[in-house]
Amino acid sequence: MKLYAFPGLGTDHRVFTLQASLDCDLQIPEWIPPQKNETMYEYAGRLAKTIDTSQPFSIMGVSLGGMMCMELAKYIQPEKIILISSCKTRSELPLHIPMIKHIGGANLVPIPVIRKAIKKYSSLTGDLPPEMKTIFDEMIMTVDGLFLKWAATAVTRWQNETIHENVLHIHGTRDKVLPYKYVKADVAIIGGSHYMVGTRADEVNELIERTLENS
C-alpha cells in the first residue's frame, strides 16, 4: 500500500529518514506553492489533486503534516490517517497558538526571523541527539521560505473540528511543542518528545506498520 507522508513546519522529507524501512510504498510529496491568504482547508483541496487515489492508500503527517492530513481527508478517502506529534482539531492546539493570529500571525514577520524563531524554539523543546539536530537545523534553513511563512500563519488560523473515524493519533507524553495534556491521543509514547519520529523511531514504526496491516 502507498503511504503518503507529510513533514512538519520547517522540515522536509529528511524528517522521515528512519521511516524508509517501513514495509510499504512510502511517498513524500513536495509541498505545492501556497496562494495568498489561503486557508489550510483550501490548500489541502489543491494538494489532494497531487495524490494518486486510483488504488488504496493511507496518509501520515508529523505536526503540521498531521493537521494537513485532517484537511486532506475532507477531499480524499484514505484507508488510514496516521498523526504523529500532531493535532486532530483546533481545540487540541496549545492556547497560545490560535492567539498569535490576533497580532498578525507570521504575516508581519520576515522569513529569516521565522526561521531563527523555529530553530530556537525547537532547540528549547526537543531532545535531539547532536547528529539529528544538525540535520534539523539544515532543514529549517533550507525549506521554502514562502511556504514556511504561509504555514506558520495557517496553523494559527486553523479551524478544523472534524475527527475522521480512521485516525490513529500517536503522541509523546513529553511533547513540549504540542503538549500531551491538550490532545486526546490513541497511543501515548511514554517520554516521547515532539521529534519522536526520529528519537523513538522503532516504536513509532511498529505502530505504523500494525495500523497499515489492519487496513
- Structure-block grid coordinates of residue 19: 521511516
Q: What is the pLDDT of residue 10?
A: 86
Sites in the chain below the pLDDT cut of 70: 96-108, 121-127
Question: What torsion do the CA atoms of 184, 187, 190, 196 make, to the nearest 10 degrees?
Answer: -100
Q: What is the pLDDT of residue 103?
A: 40
Nearest to 65 by CA among 138, 3, 5: 5
Q: What is the pLDDT of residue 142?
A: 86
Q: What is the pLDDT of residue 107?
A: 61
- Structure-block grid coordinates of residue 7: 513533514
- Residue 187 pairs in a beta bridge with 170
Q: What is the pLDDT of residue 108?
A: 63
Neighbours of 190 (CB within 10 A): 10
Q: What is the pLDDT of residue 102?
A: 39
* Alpha-carbon gap, residue 194 to 62, rounded angstroms: 9
- On the 0-12 / 13-18 / 19+ scale of CB atoms within 10 A, 170 is buried
Q: What is the pLDDT of residue 105?
A: 53
- Residue 168 pairs in a beta bridge with 82
Dihedral of alpha carbons 154, 160, 164, 166, sign:
positive
Q: What is the pLDDT of residue 36?
A: 87
